[in-house]
Amino acid sequence: MSLHVEHLAKDYPTRSGALTVLRDVSLDLERGESAAIMGPSGSGKSTLLHLLGTLDRPTRGEVRLEGRDPFALTERQLADFRNRHIGFVFQDHHLLPQCSVFENVLIPTLVAREDREAMKAWARQLLDRVGLSDRLDHRPAELSGGERQRVAVARALIHRPILLLADEPTGNLDRRTAASIGKLLLELHREERNILLVVTHSAELAELFPRNWTMDDGCLQALSSSPETRIRSGLS
């Protein structure tokens, strides 16, 4: 029950040659564990989340989720694996404007043959959990920014993912709303016992997490020297 990342690297091809964004990232997280990743703009935080979310392929290194190498799957199997086991919350919520709050949360369930009624019941429960029971029929444009992010959090959890990835989930929100979304993410993470990785520029949000890592020169460094910090530098 874990996320295992070993010597992960990512180069992007550019007109002036290969650009190395991630040099050597290794980490281990078990179910029920979480970490916040900070670091300057352009340091590769989103790139790392994209690789862990299997939205992009690494140049080198390996990712194992629940002992499985997702990149060994065919594109179709990978899409199914991602849909079932990985939840995303982005800074820009990516909600579908023409769909209601309720429909947006159910979108990930449309591709698979699943028990519709059970999914609807769980979607209602999740929306209740994020405090939006009285907004089910609203379109995203009829919500506040914080409410949209809460819909995105509910949608990310519809398949009870093993891995929940959030890329600056509170980036566009005022401090108070940001703190409440951060706390909500952590609460739901604890209830669901998933693995939660959050990228943030907010030290306030990062402080809520037991582990703080920073992206520096293409490698992850642990900010605290707490014994539970299980991050392996490229040299170890």
Residue whose CB is less far from ligand ATP, 51 or 188: 51
| DSSP-based three-state secondary structure for 5 | strand
Residue 8 and residue 215: Cα distance in Å, rounded? 13
Scanning the structure block, which residue is given the tokens 């989340």? 49
Residue 131 and residue 228: Cα distance in Å, rounded? 33
Parallel/antiparallel/unpaired status of strands 195-199 and 163-167 = parallel
Residue whose CB is less far from Mg ion, 39 or 158: 39
Contact with Mg ion (CB under 5 A): which of 46, 104, 109, 212? 46
* Cβ at position 212, least distance to Mg ion in Å: 17
List the one residue out of 141, 31, 158 whose CA is nearest residue 88: 158
> Using CB under 5 A, which of the segments 42-50, 56-64, 119-127, 200-208 binds Mg ion?
42-50
Residue 92 and residue 42: Cα distance in Å, rounded? 18
Scanning the structure block, which residue is given the tokens 């996320």? 3
Contact with ligand ATP (CB under 6 A): which of 21, 151, 188, 205? 21
What residue 149 binds from ligand ATP, Mg ion, none (CB within 5 to 8 A, per partner kind)?
none
Give the interface size with ligand ATP as a residue count (CB under 6 A).
Answer: 12
How crowded is residue 113: how many other Cβ atoms within 10 Å of its Cβ? 6
* Cβ at position 102, least distance to ligand ATP in Å: 31
Task: Find out whether 102 and 171 touch, Cβ atoms under 8 Å.
Answer: no
Contact with ligand ATP (CB under 6 A): which of 14, 16, 74, 236? 14
22-81 binders of ligand ATP (CB under 6 A)? 39, 41-47
What residue 203 binds from Mg ion, ligand ATP, none (CB within 5 to 8 A, per partner kind)?
none
* Cβ at position 66, least distance to Mg ion in Å: 26
Copy the structure tokens of residue 151: 């819909």
List the one residue out of 141, 108, 113 whose CA is nearest residue 126: 108
> Using CB under 5 A, which of the segments 13-21, 40-48, 153-161, 227-235 binds Mg ion?
40-48
Binding site for ligand ATP (CB under 6 A): 12, 14, 19, 21, 39, 41-47
Binding site for Mg ion (CB under 5 A): 46
